[in-house]
Amino acid sequence: MNREEEIKKRRTFAIISHPDAGKTTITEQLLKFGGAIREAGTVKARKTGNFAKSDWMDIEKERGISVTSSVMQFDYAGKRVNILDTPGHEDFSEDTYRTLMAVDAAVMVIDSAKGIEAQTKKLFQVVKHRGIPVFTFINKLDRDGREPLDLLSELEEVLGIESVPMNWPIGMGKNFQGLYDFTNDRVEVYQPADGERFVALSVLTKGEHPLASNPFYEQAVEDAELLADAGNPFDEARVIAGKLTPVFFGSALTSFGVQTFLESFLDYAPEPHSHQTVDGEAIEPLETDFSGFVFKIQANMDPRHRDRIAFVRIVSGEFERGMGVQLVRTGKQVKLANVTQFMADTRENVQNAVAGDIIGVYDTGTYQVGDTMTTGKLKKAFEPLPTFTPELFMRVQAKNVMKQKSFHKGIEQLVQEGAIQLYTNYTTGDIMLGAVGQLQFEVFKDRMEREYHSDIVMTPMGKKSVRWINPEQLDEKMSSSRNILARDRFDHPLFLFENDFALRWFKDKYPEVVLKEEFSV
Ligand code: GDP
């Protein structure tokens, strides 16, 4: 197969969901259809791994495994599928967001009893901002959940995206009979008496099937008529533009509706997209020169070394082992010798990685999040990754005041690498760190000790809302313990508000001050 064909068959996506909605379960199902059994075990191992937050060895084990499950690849129906993991739970971090910058589509898994939950909402905002297609899987139909029509309106009201159901539940919970599959004009029967899982609508219309007279089926047919009249029509262009989400109902645990979902998803999910440089030039996947960008750096593969893995999304061309590339930020040549590819069967299996794929480059401190690499004439970097406004804050100090040098060096490098966000108190000069998830602080502390021999003391400051202000409006007198005046690492002034109440109070008191949620997506 030539390179162009290889690139065109790539489908690279991430699953976004709130913890417990069923992401792990559905991922395993998808991998099973792709024949990637080994990886399926890995996903579970990672999830059940006994993970004590404060213990580095555990974090490390956890992280060690998660490198292999960070990208899961398999072939299905002539497509090569890359699923990028978006860690949640205690693992939630800026990397979770950044991973969404490296995919061409997203699958949103929702628990039918719970609807849209907090983490789904946050992740969806990033996906929406990028304008990439989102496919929705409403899970756990084998249990009682909310009314399907209700769930569709929630998508519209809470997320602001229109939806088009691709199938429709016939009952749910203990009355779950199956799915009315609009695309394939058939019914997928949940527990078929005669063993026949798929029944053509024509058979049901003629009344030749026991389900034909089932009240839940009749209700589904009624709902379907209503949807056909009043619902959104399926429109592929709007799906691709991220304006309309196709909705699939199912039950991941019983592997019901998952394969139909996968097939439909692969029919519509886009092939690798182009990527813009800071100059606005679009680099197309089919260009001959290799190019890519680092979207995540995962530290500590081996505690004795400062090594890490830089995850690179290939934007154009083809990766070859040992190839020399230029790092656009520094202008230096680097050799891509020690590279992990993520294959379905074994991790070492060398096949071609092309545009759309992800490679893991062994790194001893060369790369930063957002770095561009290329073999070609590309002189400009790709557009920078957005910064995701942190919500959790810690005050941080060196335990030993005599060791300021290693303390500052460590902070500077880890902040540059993208591991954590740095803020400085405008008045006192105190150093504060911001993160989107608790794990970022723990990894930071451990890396400071191990890599920079700097013991630190961290004092939790709790949640804060960040608002940037115009430098001209800066007035130190406006600062208080409820709205701390600080600067970010680029010296932009901002306030850290204790809560919404403090924010409103400030707005009342200083109506002329413009507060911006800048640098957020
Ligand atoms: P994750 O946190 O999103 O990865 O969620 P998991 O895949 O680990 O699922 C969370 C829990 O929900 C587990 O106990 C699963 O067995 C259960 N679960 C997942 N899918 C379904 C489903 O379709 N039906 C039911 N009843 N339970 C499910």
List the CATH number of the domain containing 285: 3.40.50.300
- Rounded to the nearest angstrom, the distance between the alpha carbon of 230 and the centre of ligand 1 is 32
Q: Known binder of ligand: residue 169?
A: no
Judge if pTM exceeds 0.90. Answer: no
At 241, list the tokens.
Answer: 């533009």
Q: Calculate ∠ Cα 218-219-225, nearest 5°.
A: 90
How confident is the prediction along the chain (521 residues), in pLDDT tens digits per residue? 799 999 999 999 999 999 999 998 999 899 888 876 444 444 544 454 433 222 333 444 454 444 556 888 888 999 999 999 887 776 788 888 999 999 999 999 999 999 999 999 999 999 999 999 999 999 999 999 999 999 999 999 999 999 999 999 999 999 999 999 999 999 999 988 878 899 999 888 888 888 988 999 999 999 999 999 999 999 999 999 999 999 999 999 999 999 999 999 999 999 999 999 999 999 999 999 999 999 998 875 455 556 678 999 999 999 998 899 999 999 999 999 888 776 544 444 446 799 999 998 988 888 999 999 999 878 889 998 888 889 999 999 999 988 899 999 999 999 988 889 999 999 999 999 999 988 889 889 988 998 899 999 999 999 999 999 999 999 999 999 999 999 999 899 999 999 999 999 999 999 999 999 865 43
- Asked whether residue 23 is marked as a ligand-binding residue, the answer is yes
For 124-167, the pLDDT digits (tens) are: 999 999 999 999 999 999 999 999 999 999 999 999 999 999 99
| In a shared domain, residues 41 and 122 | yes
Nearest CA to ligand 1 atom 9: 22
Question: Tens of pLDDT along 281-310?
Answer: 999 999 999 999 999 988 754 555 566 789
18 is in an annotated binding site: yes
Going by alpha carbons, the residue nearest to atom 19 of ligand 1 is 22
Residues 221 and 298 in one domain: no
Q: Which of 342, 374, 406 is the last residue of a domain?
A: 374
Task: Decide: 73 and 100 in contact? Cβ < 8 Å.
Answer: no
Distance 122 CA to ligand 1 centre (A): 20
Residue to mutate, 17, 23, 25, 141, ligand 1, most ligand atoms under 8 Å from C-beta: 25
Measured torsion, CA atoms of residues 344, 349, 350, 355, in degrees rounded to the nearest 10: 10
* Residue 517 to residue 361: CA distance in whole angstroms: 34
Cβ-Cβ contacts under 8 Å for 353 (sequence gap 6 or more): 314, 318, 319, 341, 359
369 and 433 inside one domain: no
Strands 178-181 and 186-189: antiparallel
Residues 36 and 109 in one domain: yes
Query: Are 15 and 63 contained in the same domain?
Result: yes
Residue 313 lies in a domain: yes
Task: Judge whether 109 and 116 are in contact, CB under 8 Å.
Answer: no
Annotated ligand binding at 75? The verdict is: no
User: Are residue 336 and residue 462 in the same domain, yes or no?
Assistant: no
Instruction: Let me know whether 187 and 304 are in one domain.
Output: no
CATH number at residue 499: 3.30.70.3280
pLDDT at 303: 57
Give me ligand 1 centre to Cα 24, in Å: 7
Same domain, 40 and 142: yes
Alpha-carbon distance of 139 to 5, in angstroms, equals 34
> How far, in Å, from the CA of 46 to the mean position of ligand 1?
15
CA 41, CA 345: separation in Å to the nearest integer?
Answer: 12
In what helix (H) or strand (E) does residue 180 lie, and over which residues does it extend? strand 178-181
- 253 CA from centroid of ligand 1 (Å): 6
Rounded distance between C-alpha atoms, residue 358 and residue 339, angstroms: 10
Measured between alpha carbons, how far is 290 from 313 in angstroms, rounded to an integer? 11
Per the annotation, does 210 bind a ligand? no
Cα(64) to ligand 1 centroid in Å equals: 24
- Nearest atom in ligand 1 to the alpha carbon of residue 47 is 8
pLDDT of residue 38: 44
88 is in an annotated binding site: yes
pLDDT of residue 56: 34
Atom of ligand 1 nearest to the CA of 139: 23
Per-residue model confidence as pLDDT tens digits over 17-66: 999 999 989 998 998 888 764 444 445 444 544 332 223 334 444 544 44
- Residues with Cβ < 8 Å from 371, sequence gap 6 or more? 293, 294, 310, 327, 328, 329, 381
Domain count, the chain: 4
Phi, psi (rounded to 5 degrees) for 248: -120, 135
Does the residue 171 lie in any domain? no
| 252 touches 144 (CB < 8 A) | no
**Residue 297 confidence (pLDDT):** 87
Q: Which atom of ligand 1 is nearest to the CA of 252?
A: 23
Question: Which residue in this structure is represented by tokens 């907090």?
Answer: 118
Contacts 24+ apart (CB under 8 A), 53-59: 53/90, 53/438, 53/439, 53/442, 54/442, 56/303, 56/446, 56/450, 59/300, 59/439, 59/442, 59/443, 59/446
Picking from 249, 268, 287, the residue at the C-terminal end of a domain is 268
Regarding whether 110 and 245 lie in a shared domain, the answer is yes
The answer to whether residue 59 is domain-embedded is yes
- The protein residue whose alpha carbon is closest to atom 15 in ligand 1 is 22
- Is 89 assigned to a binding site? yes
Residue 172 domain-assigned (yes or no)? no
Q: Tokens representing 141? A: 């139909």
Q: Where are the alpha helices (DSSP H) in 338-493?
A: 404-417, 438-452
Spacing, Cα 104 to ligand 1 middle (Å): 25
Distance in Å, CA 150 to ligand 1 centroid: 21
From the list 466, 438, 362, 450, the residue with the least C-alpha distance to 414 is 450
Which residue lies with its CA nearest to atom 25 of ligand 1? 140
Q: Which residue range forms the structural domain that includes residue 437?
A: 392-516
Same domain for 142 and 121: yes
Residue 95 inside a domain? The answer is: yes
Q: Are residues 19 and 159 in the same domain?
A: yes
> Is residue 76 in some structural domain?
no
User: What is the CA(72)–ligand 1 centre distance, in A?
Assistant: 19
Choose the final residue of a domain: 219, 247, 268.
Answer: 268
Give the position, in ligand 1's atom list, of the atom nearest the Cα of 17. 3
Is residue 186 situated within a structural domain?
yes
- 163 in a labelled binding site: no
208/317 same-domain check: no
Q: Is 200 annotated as a binding residue?
A: no
Kind of pairing between the strands at 105-111 and 134-139: parallel
Is residue 404 one of the residues assigned to a domain? Answer: yes
Task: Give ipTM to 2 decimals.
Answer: 0.99
Q: What residue ranges line ligand 1, CB within 6 angstroms?
A: 17, 19-25, 47, 139-140, 142-143, 251-253
Looking at the DSSP bridge assignments, the partners of residue 396 are 431, 458
The reported pLDDT for the residue numbered 59 is 44
